Amino acid sequence: MTKTYTVGSLYAGVGGICLGFENAGFKLEWANEFDKKACITYKNNFEHTLFEGDVMDLDVKKLQKIDILTAGFPCQPFSLAGHRKGFNDSRGNHFFKILDFIDEMRPKVVFLENVKNLKSHDKGNTMKVIEREIKKRNYTFDSAILNTKDFGNIPHNRERIFMIAFDKDFVKRGFKFHFPEKEQLTQKVTDLIIKEQVEKKFYYTEDKYMYPVLKEAIVREDRIYQFRRHYVRENKRKVCPTLTANMGTGGHNVPIITTDFGFRKLTPRECFRFQGFPDSYKLPKISNSNLYKQAGNSVSMPVIQRLASEIFKCIQKIENKKTKSQKV
């Protein structure tokens, strides 16, 4: 009988990390998310306990202990799009809150996700602090920057850094986590685009001032485009450009495509598809701006699932060896 391994998820967003771990065979015990609209989407798709509110207000001692602690912690302090203040930004202190959870719960595995710029932030010092603090707690530490198009079989150019740490009291000496190998991208942009006509509000019609520019530049249905003031940028790599939370702020931040029905922006459902969410994932009746923001803020679920599957194999292998040694 396969043993059940439990997960607690901090900064859960709409559940991209949670769904990836669930699909890999883990049991979600609880999660935490601050954004009220994200909580609505999350609760539409999961039944376990969701603690809504600031993670700083959570009493670690009162939460059920788990085997795996996951955290896609706030990326603004480390992002190229932010002010790059790192640990001097109050939001950077969220990492130290994560350490409180590690100290209290001693999970077998800690799984962290952030923007790729974390690695080079402050000339690498920010990453050194994170690695040092994790190792100081008697954990291994391995990290890698993975691109969705290379590790999730989704045509989406999205690079994120993943940090995975195992409790050294759980693993054998010299243990090192091995990240999965790149896989061939077989899905195309057109595989994820809705073939039927969508709502009129998503289309750029002839009365729009940028229509002539779109008509001249957007000529291929297998490409995704971005409008940049007075010109259009084509993604020649035949993948979706990195989706961002700014898609929810309006304007022309949502990527554009052309279909048999005209020029239009990607719909929220398509954005979730480019993050690897299945169509069975329910999108609630909230504003499209919030759904765009949620899709841009999320992780690429298939990448998480591959990593979670590797973690699951490692845990099983370790525990099977311990069981055999005990019998001997």
Structure-derived torsion over alpha carbons of residues 150, 4, 46, 75, reported in degrees to the nearest 10: -50
| Residue 205, token pair as written in the block | 């019609």
Choice among 18, 39, 75, 271 that is catalytic: 75
What is the distance between the alpha carbons of residues 25 and 160, in angstroms, rounded to a whole number? 23
What is the distance between the alpha carbons of residues 59 and 141, in angstroms, rounded to a whole number? 26
CB of 292 within 8 A of CB of 246?
no
Q: Is 75 a catalytic residue?
A: yes
Q: In what order do the strands lie in the sheet with 27-33?
A: 49-52, 27-33, 6-10, 68-71, 109-115, 159-166, 142-147
Q: How many residues are present in the chain?
A: 328
Q: Which residues are catalytic?
A: 75
